[in-house]
Structure 1
Amino acid sequence: MEFLHRFDSLNGDAVIVATDAEKLRAAAFLDGRENFANGERLVRFGPADLRSGDPARFIFHVGFCGSTLLARLVDQPGSVLALREPQSLTDIASQRRAIRAGQGIADCAGIIGHALAYLGQGEDTIVIKPSNWVNGALPDLVASGAVARAVFLTCNRREFLIAAFRGGRDRLAFCARLASELADEVAHGETILAHQVALNQEPLDRMARICVLLHAMQEALFAQALARAAIPGAAMLTLAELTADPGGTMATRASPRLIFRPMGKCAQCRRTCGACERSSAPLFPCGFSATE
């Protein structure tokens, strides 16, 4: 299959790799840290070349909260393929401000749809666990209709802070960059971040406050997405729930929200519908159920 690995959506340059489900499944992350390609080619997409992909199923997360574990639990060879942190979506998220300003080869919906067309190939149901860097583009993903199903995974502030410091300088530096990246996506985020940076305090204390703010900003973005009521069956899960009972969480909360079988068109809204694997009641994007 062809897989969109890198994508500069401002000028259309992209790296397309030839790969297969086994290589994608074996890679811990699809961000370039591991080789999962049988070959690659460089292409330049223009507006006329863009494809239209179906809405996808996502695991959004705050980072350091068990998202890789959840992705591995969801993944089922021959049925479900979980893509862990594809770089092309991170590229789009990094350029979202320029895309919103009309500097991309298409609008946000067109660019995201094109990426999903290349990420959603193959016979398996695709579930995408993006990098939490993509949380900055969450408003764009939801507004464009790109999210068919979603689970939002988080942890408590203490767990997040411990995990961030346990990762050392590199992880703390990532948290600082991401906090700066997300600050303008939430109300008063830039003002609060600037205040924390300006405080006269020990460097580790300052970093701890920035990490706590980062966690709060990501949860605020999740709450905004959930409040739009545009994602059928979406819900927030916690690391505590996942680690206490992985099987139970999958059976009752995660899997039904992420996995469903295609069932044609809904008679009410004429859109693709689906059914929970553990239920005979169809659930449609419009909220209509055959049992109603």
Structure 2
Amino acid sequence: MTEHASKLGTDPCWLPHRVDVRKGEVSFLRLDREAHRRATFLTDEYIGVDTPRRTLPIAALDVAARSAIPGRCHFIFHSAFCCSTLLARAFDIPGSAMGLKEPTALMDLSEAALSGVQIGRILGPVLDLLSRPLSPSEAVVIKPTNVVNPLIDALLAQRGDAHALLLYSPLPAFLRSVAQKGLFGRIWARRSAASLARRPEFDPGYSAAERWEHSDLQVAALAWLQQQAQFARLARSQPAGRVATLDSETLLADPLRALTALAALFQLDVPGLALDEIATGPIFTRNSKRHDQPLDASLRAEQHAQAANAYGEEITMVVRWAEAVANHVGIPMQLSAPLIR
């Protein structure tokens, strides 16, 4: 078992995929760079059933991690519908960085922690294994799903040298994205709010009965405020220069400037020409979740205009209501520590 764990640890293509704390097992997938590029997210939905897989006891994780080639990692944390997948794809720069798009192992650990499981001895080795570079000298940019946001403090504590971007959409844009997705978006918002309520950043003061009276978009706005409150706290409490904030509208308005500033935050050695090619290339002109479909800043603006036409009155009312809640509990609608000043 020790030899098996060491082999998994020395090969960065073996990615820790699922962590089953009940069974005491960690499953691994073997993914090369091209497989990472093809997968929208590192979840079973997007990974082929024929992908090689291996399993280790959790007790053997330390052996695998000690065998790993040390790597630098940084994080893109986000509050959904804010171009985070686009940014993770943008930092697939051979020789400089590799982006990991929502590794499921971190989702499993977040769920375990919210259920009361002590994950401290598991999180470190899993993070070490996720941080192995596919090529020498690369940094790994990890973009967890926003379901993992309850682990942000623990992740930053585990990696004291890691920097983080806190990426978000302004509330009106967030609500337009939820409304635009129809029933799926509204169900997602309620599930997200229920998950965040398990470890809330603040108490909005509504009773259970009052919460039932909230509309779908009010629930979505409360979920946004919970994440905004967490990001505001992190921007205040982390050492200067370690954490930066960025909103999706600023990113799309000037992609090259945002990429250049983010490369500097992550201390990446990336030629300016490479960043220019990324900012003007297919990553910013194709749908990050459906690569065969076009989606650039102008098309996104058109979709949001359609949502505003259909749901504008409701969104305006919910934004005003949410601003009153934010003012009452002290949550800024715009975050400090901006990546671009």
1:258 matched to which residue of 2?
266
Q: Measure, in 2, the Cα distance between the counterparts of 1:248 and 1:196.
A: 44
2:225 matched to which residue of 1?
216
Shift of the 73–48 alpha-carbon distance from structure 1 to 2, 3 Å rule, reads closer
Gaps of 5+ in 2: 1-12, 273-341
Q: Measure, in 2, the Cα distance between the counterparts of 1:258 and 1:235.
A: 10
Q: In the alignment, does 2:252 pair up with 1:243?
A: yes
How far did 1:69 drift? 1.7
Q: In the alignment, does 2:203 pair up with 1:188?
A: yes
- Of the two, which has the highest radius of gyration? 2
Shift >6 Å, 4+ stretches: none
Render the CA deviation track for 1:1-50: whole Å, top value 9, x for unaligned: 21011112354212111121221122111122212673002222127746
- 2:59 maps to which of 34, 46, 52: 46
- 1:68 maps to which of 78, 85, 107: 85
The answer (yes or no) to whether the contact 2:18–2:28 under 8 Å persists in 1 is: yes
Between Structure 1 and Structure 2, which shows a larger proportion of strand residues? 1
Q: Measure, in 2, the Cα distance between the counterparts of 1:95 and 1:147.
A: 25
How far did 1:68 drift? 1.5
Tell me the SS of whatever aligns to 1:3: strand
How far did 1:156 drift? 0.9
1:9 matched to which residue of 2?
21
Tell me the SS of whatever aligns to 1:4: strand
Q: In the alignment, does 2:180 pair up with 1:171?
A: no
Aligned residues: 251
The answer (yes or no) to whether the contact 2:15–2:29 under 8 Å persists in 1 is: yes
1:127 matched to which residue of 2?
141
Shift of the 171–143 alpha-carbon distance from structure 1 to 2, 3 Å rule, reads same
Render the CA deviation track for 1:112-159: whole Å, top value 9, x for unaligned: 211112212222321011101111222322343467011111111110
How far did 1:246 drift? 0.4
* Aligned partner letter, 2:17: H
TM-score normalised by length of structure 2: 0.66
TM-score normalised by length of structure 1: 0.77
Render the CA deviation track for 1:170-201: whole Å, top value 9, x for unaligned: 23222211211112331215x447365232x6
Tell me the SS of whatever aligns to 1:172: helix
Range moving further from structure 2, 8-17 or 175-184? 8-17
Between Structure 1 and Structure 2, which shows a larger proportion of helix residues? 2
How far did 1:55 drift? 6.3
The answer (yes or no) to whether the contact 1:62–1:153 under 8 Å persists in 2 is: yes
Give the superposed CA RMSD: 2.6
Shift of the 125–177 alpha-carbon distance from structure 1 to 2, 3 Å rule, reads same
Shift of the 76–212 alpha-carbon distance from structure 1 to 2, 3 Å rule, reads same
